[in-house]
């Protein structure tokens, strides 16, 4: 019996092409404005995963190479999230919540002995946590900035009442930015009932017991909650201090 879920071959390639075209067509017909991005994202994913699959065997045998790869993941996540939040190239501050959240948890898991000091263990865990921090940063940043744009008058009113600029901004954008935690909360609440996330399935396919797979997934999910909580709080603070803002934005009241 095969230990893999998918059979690699021509049928897999056809399925991937069909799924990509279906997604792009639905987005285009629905006028969501991201039809081309769907295709580009799928092609990039195929190329990047193919490259990583070829390189990973050499990377995981060296802790230095592992560390370099983790740094690369953080850089790419920072660039991606920064562009999502600011709409341009001024988003390097997005790296602060991404790195602070993910690396603290990764370091804690390694020091506690829950994640072995080996590349084959560190890279997937770091990738999951960095990805979670990136998503939370992007969502929190965009929600916070959108809220400030639509409720600019409330910020100005707070300033007129004597509030400090940071406090006025936080009062308006903090609740909206907190919505960035909803996906992680929903995934954690429904795990095992609605979804069986990747870590659980991966550990099972690797030959471990269901109990070991469940414990591994629980550590990942709770770690993601911690990572994303840190990322959201720091992102809101950066927005409040005008470190993260759209490249075309007008000067914020009080700044």
Spans of the chain, pLDDT less than 50: 1-4
With a CB cutoff of 8 Å and minimum separation 6, the contacts of 86 are: 94, 141, 244, 245, 246, 247
Structure-token pair, residue 247: 């490249």
The pLDDT value recorded for residue 247 is: 62
Three-state secondary-structure class, residue 94:
helix
Phi/psi-derived region of residue 181, left when phi > 0, alpha when psi is between -120 and 50, beta in every other case: alpha
Q: What is the DSSP letter of 191?
A: B
Q: Which pLDDT belongs to residue 170?
A: 84
| pLDDT, position 190 | 84
How far is the C-alpha of 41 from the C-alpha of 76, rounded, in Å?
14
| Cβ atoms 146, 128 nearer than 8 A | no
pLDDT at 197: 67
Q: Give backbone dihedrals phi and psi of 68, rounded to 5 degrees, phi first.
A: -65, -40
Q: What is the DSSP letter of 53?
A: H
Is residue 180 a contact partner of residue 206, using CB atoms and an 8 Å limit?
no
pLDDT score at 19? 92
pLDDT at position 134 is 95
Q: Which phi and psi angles does 202 have, rounded to 5°?
A: -60, -45
pLDDT of 3 reads 47
Give pLDDT, residue 2: 46
Query: Quick count: other Cβ atoms within 10 Å of Cβ 202?
Result: 14
Per-residue model confidence (pLDDT) at position 50: 84
- pLDDT number for residue 5: 57
Total residue length of the chain: 255
Sign of torsion over alpha carbons 180, 70, 82, 39: negative
Interatomic CA distance for residues 242 and 220, integer angstroms: 32
CA 135 remoteness from chain centre: 3
Q: What is the CA radius of gyration of the chain?
A: 21
**Residues in CB range of 145: below 8 A, 6 or more apart:** 85, 173, 239, 244, 245, 246, 249
Kindly list the distances between the CA atom of residue 55 and the CA atoms of 46, 58, 69, in Å, as whole numbers in the listed order. Answer: 14, 6, 10
Q: What are phi and psi of 191, to 5 degrees?
A: -60, 135
In whole angstroms, how far apart are CA 151 and each of 87, 115, 212?
A: 20, 44, 48
């Amino acid at each position: 019996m095969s230990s893999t879920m998918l059979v690699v071959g021509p049928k897999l390639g056809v399925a991937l092409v069909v799924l990509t075209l279906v997604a792009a067509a639905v987005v285009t017909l629905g006028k969501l404005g991201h039809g081309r991005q769907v295709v580009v994202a799928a092609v990039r994913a195929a190329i990047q995963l193919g490259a990583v699959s070829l390189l990973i065997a050499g990377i995981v045998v060296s802790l230095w190479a592992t560390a370099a790869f983790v740094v690369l993941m953080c850089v790419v996540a920072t660039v991606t999230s920064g562009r999502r939040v600011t709409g341009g190239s001024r988003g390097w501050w997005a790296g602060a919540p991404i790195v602070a959240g993910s690396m603290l948890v990764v370091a804690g898991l390694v020091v506690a002995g829950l994640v072995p000091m080996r590349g084959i263990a560190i890279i997937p865990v770091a990738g999951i946590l960095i990805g979670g921090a990136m998503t939370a940063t992007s969502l929190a940043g965009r929600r916070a900035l959108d809220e400030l744009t639509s409720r600019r008058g409330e910020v100005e009113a707070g300033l007129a009442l004597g509030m400090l600029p940071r406090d006025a901004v936080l009062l308006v954008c903090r609740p909206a930015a907190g919505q960035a935690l909803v996906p992680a909360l929903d995934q954690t609440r429904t795990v095992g009932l609605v979804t069986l996330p990747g870590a659980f399935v991966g550990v099972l396919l690797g030959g471990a017991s269901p109990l070991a797979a469940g414990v591994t997934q629980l550590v990942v999910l709770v770690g993601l909650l911690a990572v994303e909580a840190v990322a959201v709080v720091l992102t809101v603070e950066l927005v409040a201090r005008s470190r993260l803002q759209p490249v075309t934005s007008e000067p914020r009241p009080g700044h």
